[in-house]
Amino acid sequence: MALGKLVKWARLKSPWALHFNTGACNGCDIEVLATLAPRVDVERFGILLKPSPRHADALIVTGPVTRQCEQRLKLIYEQMPSPKFVVAVGACACSGGIFRGCYNVIGGADRVVPVNSYVPGCPPKPEAIVHGVLVMLEEARGA
């Protein structure tokens, strides 16, 4: 029905993101930030970086999830109102990456929250990150 389609259109065109670093080396984080800069400029797609989880639709997770951050990650996810997505950026967020097996590391965001999109790379280029988000949105549109 028309209203449903309108709402769906709005949700896909206005995905606000929250970025959380769970103990990453900062490599992925700076590439996430680089998506805001003029070369890539994700605001073109309506993506805005928001401070509060209550304002966000997408959670961008970087880092292998250290034990200290595990609870935080869960908490943030719960505080986001639905519908929500999670994007795991970087090898560490996907699976723990090079830190898999380290004593203070849980290993991958999907051990803590459900992940919708995995963007591998160490770190992935900003274009790859944006691609990961857009592909996820496209699939959501089809669903």
Partner 1 sequence: MRPVEAEDLIGLIHSKAADAVVKVTNPRPTRIYAEVKPGCHREVIDQLLEGFDGLGISTITGVHDRNQIELNYHLRCGGNILTLRTRVPTSEPKIETITDLMPGAILYEREVKDLLGVEFTGLVETERLQLPDGWPKGVYPLRKDCNLDEVSLQTNGGQALEGSNNEETLSELGNIEVVFGPQHPALHEPEKFLFEVDGERVIDIKPRLGYAHRGIEKATEARTLLQDIYLVERICGICNSAHTLCFCQAVEDIADIRVPDRARYLRVIAAELNRIHSHMLLLGSAGLELGLESLFMYVWRDRERVMDALERLTGNRVISALNTFGGTRRDLSPDVAKSILKDLSELRKRMSYYRKVFEEDPTLRLRTLGIGVLSRASSVRLSAVGPVARASGVEFDVRKDDPYAAYGEIPFEIVTFKEGDVYSRLRARVEEVFESIGIVEYAIAHLPSGPYRVRVSRTQPPGEAVCRVEAPRGEDVHYVKTNGTAYPERVKVRSPTLANIASLCTMLRGCFVADIPSILVSIDPCFSCTDRLAFLNVQNGERWSLRADQVSRLRGGRDGR
Partner 2 sequence: MLALALFCDWVERKLMARMQNRMGPSYTGAAGILQPLADYIKLFSKEVIVPRQASALLHVLSPILAFTIFVTSIFFMPIDGLNVMGNPGFEGDLLLVLVLATLAVFMIFLAGWGSSNPYSEIGAVRALVQFLGYDIPLMMFASAPAILAGSLSMITISRSQRIPFALLIPWVFVLFIIVLQAELEEDPFDVPHAETEIVAGYETEFSGGQLAFLKLSRDLQVVYGASLTVVLFLGGPLGPAPVGPAWLWSTLWFSAKILVVIVVMEAVEASCARLRIDQVLRGNWRLMIPLAALSLVLTALVTPWIHGVTGSV
The neighbour count for residue 46, using CB atoms within 10 Å, is 13
CA 12 vs. chain centroid, Å, equals: 15
Give the C-alpha separation, 77 to 56, whole Å. 10
Q: Is 139 in the site for partner 2 (CB under 8 A)?
A: no
Window 44-103: residues binding partner 1 (CB under 8 A) = 49, 51-53, 63-64, 66-72, 75-76, 79, 97-99, 101-103
Give the C-alpha separation, 84 to 50, whole Å. 14
Give the C-alpha separation, 32 to 141, whole Å. 23
112 secondary structure, DSSP code:
T
Exactly one of 7, 46, 104, 141 binds partner 1 (CB under 8 A); that residue is 104
Exactly one of 6, 7, 10, 37 binds partner 1 (CB under 8 A); that residue is 37
Residues lying near partner 2 in the complex (CB under 8 A): 6-7, 9-11, 13-14, 37-38, 41, 43-46, 49-52, 54-55, 57, 79, 81-83
Residues lying near partner 1 in the complex (CB under 8 A): 18-34, 36-39, 49, 51-53, 63-64, 66-72, 75-76, 79, 97-99, 101-105, 122-123, 125
